[in-house]
């Protein structure tokens, strides 16, 4: 739609857009198409958790690096601020981790919770590890712990009815905020 230079620009609601008019608004998430089109197959030729440490923190979505493990944002998050804690070693399950890796994964998870509370003012967390493809691991060859922030006021119909998650922040913005708030040792 083109407006004359002195005419205020009109914002159309969904009922006036092309197609069959209805009362629904549309939530456009084109960045999710890569994930959707990949189906059950991985999006990669190499392990993304092995590749991430070789990139810059911004390109790898890394917010903190430890001695045996690191923390990065989930590329396909359940919520804004969804972090993953991974050992550098490519191991598939928790029982293969060394005592040092287990301790650092635990310490990084605690710090991640503290930082997310400060940065996002979340009310709670889901923590978990899916061990193997049959258990729901998207990257089943490399151990990773999920740290998913939750808010009391964030329950809505999107996930239940539309199988859609509205994410209010871009990954780069979240990574910058979490990395900036991460304590330096």
Give catalytic status of residue 144 as yes or no. Answer: yes
Tally Cβ neighbours within 10 Å of residue 107: 13
CB 175 within 8 A of CB 73: yes
Our separate counts of H helices and E strands in the chain read 5, 5
Six token digits for residue 132? 């193997």
Residue of 82, 142, 144, 146 with catalytic role? 144
Six token digits for residue 140? 């089943």
Closest Cα to residue 126, out of 98, 105, 147, 153?
147
Residues labelled catalytic: 144
């Amino acid at each position: 739609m083109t407006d004359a230079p002195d005419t205020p620009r009109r914002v159309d609601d969904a009922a006036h857009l092309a197609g069959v008019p209805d009362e629904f608004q549309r939530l456009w998430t084109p960045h999710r198409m890569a994930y959707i089109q990949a189906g059950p197959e991985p999006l990669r030729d190499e392990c993304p958790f092995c590749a991430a440490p070789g990139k810059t923190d911004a390109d790898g979505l890394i917010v903190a690096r430890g001695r045996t493990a690191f923390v990065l944002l989930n590329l396909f998050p359940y919520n804004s601020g969804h972090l993953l804690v991974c050992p550098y070693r490519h191991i598939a399950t928790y029982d293969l981790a060394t005592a040092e890796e287990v301790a650092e994964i635990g310490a990084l998870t605690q710090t991640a919770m503290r930082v997310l509370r400060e940065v996002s003012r979340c009310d709670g967390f889901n923590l978990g590890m899916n061990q193997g493809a049959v258990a729901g691991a998207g990257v089943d060859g490399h151990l990773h712990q999920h740290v998913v922030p939750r808010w009391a006021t964030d329950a809505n119909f999107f996930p239940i009815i539309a199988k859609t998650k509205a994410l209010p922040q871009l990954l780069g913005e979240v990574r910058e905020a979490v990395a900036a708030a991460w304590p330096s040792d």
